[in-house]
Amino acid sequence: MRRVVTTRDGGVSRAPYDTFNLGDHVGDDPDAVAANRARLASQLGVAPDHLVWMEQIHSRNVAVVDGPVGHPVEATDALVTTTPGLALAVLSADCVPLLLSDDEAGVIAGVHAGRVGARIGIIPETLRVMMSLGARPERIGAFLGPAACGRQYEVPPEMQRDVEEHLPGSACLTDKRTTGLDLRAGLRRQLLAAAVAAVAEDPRCTIEDPHLFSHRRGAPTGRLASVIWIDPDAPTESDDSDAQADSAASGDPFSTGDPGPTGDPGTTGSLAP
């Protein structure tokens, strides 16, 4: 299994989408988005039509894909596949991108877990679909990508109470001592309660990090992509590492790594453009 988290650096989009925007729904020049997506596919070593995108709508809809689609999968917030070489992409700019894999079963998933989707159960539904394809929670490794952190994610008290009721562990206080949400903390608790083997987290906060897109920090803006795929050329038994590393300071649009053992969410690595 391999996975990548992009940064906002190294693309061709102009401000306010500068520069490696991968979202085609935010008002950016379509040609710039297409060029950025083509570059991402090239760097991943997959054909552009094997990089699968979603029309994300903050739902609990999960789609199983087994081949190139040619267009974003409509009205869904999680993709699951067992097909090697098919890369599943999650767009985000504060919401939590979640990448899941059961190496032994050969099942992977990419999940868009925003506040609404997390609240209504996108994670349990994704795990259910993965298990229907042979995955087992105790073998699944989970990776929570960069997202809005609890220090900065301020919400009204009634919203905090509602989300906490449905996603326990997500309520927090911000740096301003106001009511906030730490969705990654709530999702981590939910994953561990579901017996998921291991949960790793990219600690970066999209609101704080200028190398990442953040809708809360300034809209309109672009979107990052978190991508997971089964490398058809990788050894059957891998002792490589899997994860992400922030290489944005050098202008590298990618944070990436190679796959770790089953259930291991990984260490760190990087990929130059």
| 160 assigned to some structural domain | no
Paired with 3 in beta bridges are 228, 257
| 217 assigned to some structural domain | yes
Instruction: Please give the backbone phi and psi of residue 94, each rounded to the nearest 5 degrees, phi first.
Output: 145, -40
Q: Which of 245, 242, 236, 238 is nearest to 257 (CA)?
A: 242
The yes-or-no verdict on residue 247 having pLDDT over 60 is: no
The yes-or-no verdict on residue 21 having pLDDT over 60 is: yes
Task: Give residue 11's domain range.
Answer: 2-150+202-257
Which residues are within 8 A (CB) of 75 and not within 5 positions of it... i.e. 6 or more apart? 55, 57, 59, 61
Which residues are within 8 A (CB) of 66 and not within 5 positions of it... i.e. 6 or more apart? 81, 82, 83, 86
| Four-residue CA torsion sign, 194, 57, 229, 10 | negative
- CATH code at position 245: 3.60.140.10
| 167 assigned to some structural domain | no
pLDDT band at 70 (very low <50, low <70, confident <90, very high): confident
Tell me, what's the pLDDT at 234? Answer: 75
Place of tokens 């301020």: 154
Which residues are within 8 A (CB) of 71 and not within 5 positions of it... i.e. 6 or more apart? none
Share of residues in the chain with pLDDT > 90 (%): 84
| 93 assigned to some structural domain | yes
The yes-or-no verdict on residue 272 having pLDDT over 90 is: no
pLDDT band at 254 (very low <50, low <70, confident <90, very high): low
Show the beta-strand stretches assigned E in 93-212.
96-102, 107-113, 141-144, 171-173, 179-181, 198-201
| 273 assigned to some structural domain | no
User: Is the distance from CB of 28 to CB of 20 less than 8 angstroms?
Assistant: no
* Number of domains forming the structure of the chain: 1
| 101 assigned to some structural domain | yes
> CA-to-CA distance for 108 and 1, rounded, in angstroms?
8
